[in-house]
Amino acid sequence: MIALYVTSLEGSAGKTAICAGLGKHLLDDGKKVGFFKPTVAGAKSPPAEAIDSDAAFIRNVFALEEPESYLCPVISGDKALANRIKEAYTRISRDKDVVIIEGVRGQGPGGKPIEASHEIVEALDGRVIIVEGYSKELPGGKLVSTCRDFGEYLLGVVLNKVPRSQLEYVRGEMLNRFGETKLSILGVLPEDRVLSMLTVGELAGHIQGEIVNCTEKSVELVENFMLGAMCVDPGPQYFSRKDNKAVIVRGERPDMQLAALETSARCLVLAGNKAPIPTVISRAEEQRIPIILAGDDTSAIVSKIEDALGKTRFNQEKKLPKLMAIMEQYFDFQAVYKGLGLAN
């Protein structure tokens, strides 16, 4: 059985997405795949239960039987970290060909997350993939230093969320910049709007809003956003410009709310903490469109949505087909198979 450790230097790089895509590819190839996402607690902090949405999502995608508490244990980061990790890992790795480990949260004995990562990788004799999110300043010395620290355990690096207009340039720059270091570039993956979508429920959470009806629709993906404002076009004509959208409109504008409900909307967001009138509620129920009641004004809601879109989590199965299509085209699975000793 092989341990594959997927980590990153910064948050929101896409570790969970890469774990899901790798695991799904291995499963489709007939491999038995497990998942492990430990949290390392400081030596002075007592361990506590820490089930998270990523572990629950991966457990479902991989059809795992182990309880989430086994997949996502909290482990004391004291001098016995390696032994505790091995014990927890043993519980979830039986009969598996590969166990994908999502990089740890928390600190190792030396007080740094990267030290905990090193100790876990060494304890499990794992192989490492580093996922980096795109920025205008391409990865440099810090990434090279981290790669060197992992040494022979490193399989390679994935650069994620690259604007499609920059793909060729970035791929060339990565090869030029890291070619002499013999650092393996496993993939330069394009940014895709589908993968950054929020669900209705996630949207409500980010804007501190309350879903007042049709809560079963909270798992639907929001593809577009529109503001309900004074405009020249009649309401239904204006709101028909985009499908599967969230419409943000002031709570005291039932006319705009009703117009939006006549179009393809995923949800209606009412600003100002003003409850909708009965006619709006009734029409929303007929159309099966959730209404989110938010306390902020429209500008504050838009600001929170913009912030949330840069930090969306990959924990919706509806996004998986798009992810797999991207990885099949841009990710070097053969290099990973060879590095894990799985190549035919």
Domains of the chain from N-terminus onward:
2-194+314-340 (3.40.50.300), 198-309 (3.40.1390.20)
Identify the pLDDT of residue 231.
Answer: 53
Identify the pLDDT of residue 135.
Answer: 86
Terminal CA-CA length for the chain? 16
- 235 neighbors 256 (Cβ within 8 angstroms): yes
Question: pTM for the complete prediction?
Answer: 0.84
Identify the pLDDT of residue 138.
Answer: 78
pLDDT in tens, the chain (344 residues): 899 999 998 878 899 999 999 999 999 999 999 999 988 876 444 444 445 788 889 999 999 999 998 999 888 777 788 898 999 999 999 999 999 999 875 444 444 555 578 889 999 999 999 999 888 887 777 888 888 889 999 999 999 999 999 999 998 988 887 776 678 999 999 999 888 899 999 999 999 999 999 999 999 999 999 998 655 455 678 899 999 999 999 999 999 999 999 999 999 999 998 999 999 999 999 999 999 999 999 999 999 998 888 677 788 888 999 999 999 999 999 999 999 999 76
Pairwise CA distance, residues 289 & 293, whole Å: 13
Phi/psi class of residue 219: alpha, beta or left (left: φ > 0; alpha: ψ in -120 to 50)? alpha
